[in-house]
Structure 1
Amino acid sequence: MISGSSLILFAAFSVSLCDDGHEMEEFLKREYSLSKPYQGIGVSGSSHWELMGDALVTTDYVRLTPDHQSKQGAVWSRIPCHLRDWELQVHFKVHGQGKKNLNGDGLAVWYTQERMQKGPVFGNRDFFTGLGVFVDTYPNEEKLLEAQRKRYTPRTQRIFPYVLAMVGNGSISYDHERDGRPTELGGCSAMVRNLKHDSFLFIRYVRRRLTIMLDIDGQQEWRDCLDVPGVRLPQGYYFGASAVTGDLSDNHDLISMKLYQLTVLRSKQEDEEQQEVLVPSVDNMELLRPLTDAEGMSSVTVFFSVLFSMLGVFLLLVVGLVLYGHWSESRRKRFY
């Protein structure tokens, strides 16, 4: 476990080790960071950050959405990030009047090619290109199962709020009804609503490895959420954060986003082997393949699959019998 105090209260420069033991230097990049006093945000040309939708700035936070229905807001960096390895620390708060499972919908942290585009994915566009990390506070899949009288059973039970990551290449849709399960790289439960202490999200991308950790227990300690190797993210994308409410709502407050450049010591061979990434992808994962395993299929889907299979076999038998009858009749005539 990594100490939260050593990460949260970072200086502008430090030296540490990667997960694989490689030494790296860390530099706070202020041009990609958002923190108090939020000077000039939303004013054209006077800030590195831009507001969208229902987002507003106060002295203590950037409120992405208020605790009202049908709101969506975002804040986006105006400067594309050309860092090869980086680390993002997000300080946020989710709170509201709704009780358990009567709140929504959540917030997202983005590193994408597109920016400032409203949409259904936590206030951002669908079919995005890049990385999305979602703090999902409403279990759509659970409600869908209840509505369908449990026609299918999820592979694993997830407890909400839930943090998950997704890499999109511009042609992949986020599945709201399944809470992103078909395209999820990994995730973890995170009880982040109505906490009296601070909540922190840690996203590290180094040597094509995506690591996400959380500090939500008030113990100033990071706990693991997901660790995925072989994640390929192009340079030159934009950082942002967004949130959305529907019939249910919450206050989604962004307090800070601090980006650190990671300078990893690589061998000459490693530098030569690392080619420029043009399209986001994940090694050993078919991003374009929909989730159609038997466990994820509804009973209706299974029923019709079996039915059509049986009809196909029956049709083949009928055709076979007809052909056999014609062959027998032709053979009989040759003997008369």
Structure 2
Amino acid sequence: MQVHFKIHGQGKKNLNGDGFAIWYTKDRMQPGPVFGSKDNFLGLGVFVDTYPNEEKQQEAQKRRYSPGNQRVFPYISAMVNNGSLTYDHDRDGRPTELGGCTAMVRNLNHDTFLVIRYVKRRLTVMIDIDGKHEWRDCIDVPGVHLPRGYYFGTSSVTGDLSDNHDIISLKLYQLTVERTPEEEKRDREVFLPVVDNLKLPGMEAPLEPMSGLALFLIVFFSLVALVFAIVIGVIVYNKWQEQSRKHFY
């Protein structure tokens, strides 16, 4: 999906808000608190966030940022939700973020674009915001499982501060990708959004199957332990029989 957009307004520096979102979700657009759409959604959200809530709260409380944790806004991020996650506005979605990048997209005189690609369970987001007609990497996440048949959408929200969020066009392209029959079957059997190696609340990570060697060793040592227990049991029983005969005579 290629998104042609424009964010503009009178606010200076960070006196603007709040941003917009691009959605691929199970439900049709429903109003809610996450950039104008519902929370606890099923699917993918890509957020163009123009207001740093976490930074403002920490400034108000006179806390210091660790330099390695700073994010410069406007900021683009992605989130995959299985319906159990809540988008944390106070922390700008940091706890559930799959990846992100800074994108200075406000009040530009040239066209700005972002593109979202999903190929063989790999999610990538690229941006063209410098007026050079060149794509720049923003997000790259392997192991993303997205079901088929969801809805595309976009939403935006403003609060005490405001901006204009213009979605000029959304262009969808079906990519031609060669898949083996196994890959095709595997992709059709995705029923819940999930990301490999990312434990989401409400979803247990599947247990990895044991290798043949591990299974053999478990069976072998189990048999050895069983034989050992039987031998010990026979010895104890014989001793008990012998003691019983001595007591009888």
TM-score range, shorter-chain basis? 0.7 to 0.9
**Cα distance in structure 1, aligned partners of 2:157 and 2:70:** 24
SS at match of 1:146: helix
Match of residue 198 from structure 1: 111
Match of residue 123 from structure 1: 36
5+ unaligned residues in a row in structure 2: which ranges?
203-249
**Cα distance in structure 2, aligned partners of 1:144 and 1:287:** 27
Q: Do 2:77 and 2:97's aligned partners in 1 also have CA atoms closer than 8 Å?
A: yes
Match of residue 229 from structure 1: 142
* Deviation digits for residues 29-64 of structure 1 (CA, Å, limit 9, x no counterpart): xxxxxxxxxxxxxxxxxxxxxxxxxxxxxxxxxxxx
**RMSD value, Cα:** 1.6
Q: Do 2:147 and 2:188's aligned partners in 1 also have CA atoms closer than 8 Å?
A: no
User: In percent, how many aligned pairs have the same letter?
Assistant: 72
Q: Do 2:17 and 2:158's aligned partners in 1 also have CA atoms closer than 8 Å?
A: yes
1:104 has 2:17 as partner: yes
**Cα distance in structure 1, aligned partners of 2:67 and 2:18:** 20
Instruction: Give the TM-score of the pair, scaled to structure 1.
Output: 0.58
1:217 has 2:91 as partner: no
Q: Do 2:84 and 2:200's aligned partners in 1 also have CA atoms closer than 8 Å?
A: no
**Cα distance in structure 1, aligned partners of 2:196 and 2:105:** 31
1:150 has 2:67 as partner: no
Residue identity opposite 2:127 in structure 1: L
Match of residue 79 from structure 2: 166
The alpha-carbon deviation at position 149 of structure 1 amounts to 1.9
The alpha-carbon deviation at position 267 of structure 1 amounts to 2.6
Larger Rg: 2
1:276 has 2:189 as partner: yes
Match of residue 91 from structure 1: 4
Instruction: Give the TM-score of the pair, scaled to structure 2.
Output: 0.78
The alpha-carbon deviation at position 268 of structure 1 amounts to 3.3
Q: Which has the higher helix share?
A: 2
Residue identity opposite 1:129 in structure 2: L
1:259 to 150, 172, 175: 172
The alpha-carbon deviation at position 146 of structure 1 amounts to 1.2
The alpha-carbon deviation at position 152 of structure 1 amounts to 6.7
Q: Do 1:183 and 1:287's aligned partners in 2 also have CA atoms closer than 8 Å?
A: no
**Cα distance in structure 1, aligned partners of 2:80 and 2:175:** 21
* Deviation digits for residues 103-131 of structure 1 (CA, Å, limit 9, x no counterpart): 00000000001223111110001111100
The alpha-carbon deviation at position 282 of structure 1 amounts to 0.3
Aligned length, in residue pairs: 202
The alpha-carbon deviation at position 133 of structure 1 amounts to 0.2
5+ unaligned residues in a row in structure 1: which ranges?
1-87, 290-336
**Cα distance in structure 2, aligned partners of 1:174 and 1:196:** 32
1:240 has 2:153 as partner: yes
**Cα distance in structure 1, aligned partners of 2:61 and 2:8:** 30
The alpha-carbon deviation at position 144 of structure 1 amounts to 1.1
* Deviation digits for residues 132-157 of structure 1 (CA, Å, limit 9, x no counterpart): 00000000010111122217747521
Q: Do 1:209 and 1:228's aligned partners in 2 also have CA atoms closer than 8 Å?
A: yes
**Cα distance in structure 2, aligned partners of 1:153 and 1:235:** 40
The alpha-carbon deviation at position 273 of structure 1 amounts to 4.6
**Cα distance in structure 1, aligned partners of 2:145 and 2:56:** 34
* Deviation digits for residues 245-264 of structure 1 (CA, Å, limit 9, x no counterpart): 00100000000000011121
**Cα distance in structure 2, aligned partners of 1:99 and 1:244:** 18
Q: Do 2:148 and 2:188's aligned partners in 1 also have CA atoms closer than 8 Å?
A: no
Residue identity opposite 1:237 in structure 2: Y
Q: Do 2:44 and 2:78's aligned partners in 1 also have CA atoms closer than 8 Å?
A: yes
**Cα distance in structure 2, aligned partners of 1:187 and 1:215:** 15
**Cα distance in structure 2, aligned partners of 1:212 and 1:171:** 24
SS at match of 1:120: strand
Q: Do 1:130 and 1:167's aligned partners in 2 also have CA atoms closer than 8 Å?
A: yes
Residue identity opposite 1:198 in structure 2: D
* Deviation digits for residues 171-205 of structure 1 (CA, Å, limit 9, x no counterpart): 10000010000000000000000000001010000
Residue identity opposite 1:100 in structure 2: K
Q: Do 1:109 and 1:132's aligned partners in 2 also have CA atoms closer than 8 Å?
A: yes
